[in-house]
A = this chain, B = another copy of it.
């Protein structure tokens, strides 16, 4: 009966070898005679032995953990990233320590400290701005730090992501290219330092470059903005600026909400108003009309961050890396020139 208190020495005794030999046999590590290994594995199975990684990690001073911090789990992009990471890392015996920060700098700081106590071998963090103390903790942690989903101006070390600024600008440019001039923006309140803010700055820059008036903006809710919020924002936007002929949204859910608002108000999308989103959420591919958006690749970000970590831990790679994951506009029906 697999009592949970079987330990390595028990296995060793039962197999007639030393504990060290058992340890090696289980790690496919040292050179073990095949016969010995088979016998040990049989005993392991029979006794129901389960190695204690608490002890193992402590002894080897290698936790086998990689910490990942995302603003929210309830966001398909971060979920994909986490999944991509888990898949990449579990193949190497590394385990994910996943935490969410609710878009709060304070909670981010707290989570970072908590996570570092577990001595992760690397730290992956979704850039969304942090406190001085949080940044300091990361810098002095002595482990590889990878920022993802945005290339910060002053990256701590490695980055796997893209420029939200450039992507926001490109999407806005697309709206200008299809002939729209009175373009609104639906964003989030209190977004300073976040990725959403970077997108909005991209919007501003594209508008300025085209000599257009960028003041048609709404930012009513704190991140993350949802579909219903997007609808409400659109209603407000159309009340305040009746002449709008296009809207750039900080994310697809907001854009979807905006489209439903336009439809309820009898405006045709895209003929009367073109609407663009960000993130290529499932809904933007499935709804009517389909939503033009910036396609991002959460799984790839996770996978690339995963392989980067593995390289870094092997020491194969030292220099600061910036791995760019393309994030480009995808034109769909909601911004089609002709219907």
Contact = CB atoms under 8 A, between A and B. Distances in A.
B57 A54 contact: yes
Nearest to A298: B74
A260 interface: yes
Contact of A142 (B4, B90, B99, B288): B4
Interface in A194-253: 226-228, 231, 253
Given A58-B58, A260-B287, A286-B257, A53 B117 contact: yes
8 contacts: A4-B142, A52-B119, A54-B119, A73-B82, A75-B79, A90-B114, A253-B286, A260-B286
A52 B287 CA distance: 50
Contacts of A55: 58
Interface of A: 1-2, 4, 48, 50-55, 57-58, 61, 63, 72-76, 79-80, 82-83, 86, 90, 95-100, 102, 113-114, 116-119, 140-142, 226-228, 231, 253, 256-257, 260, 263-264, 282-283, 285-288
B253 A282 contact: yes
Nearest to A62: B54
Given A54-B58, A83-B102, 18 more contacts: A1-B140, A4-B141, A48-B140, A51-B117, A54-B54, A54-B61, A54-B118, A72-B83, A73-B83, A74-B80, A83-B100, A95-B97, A96-B99, A97-B97, A226-B282, A227-B286, A231-B286, A287-B287
Contacts of A61: 54
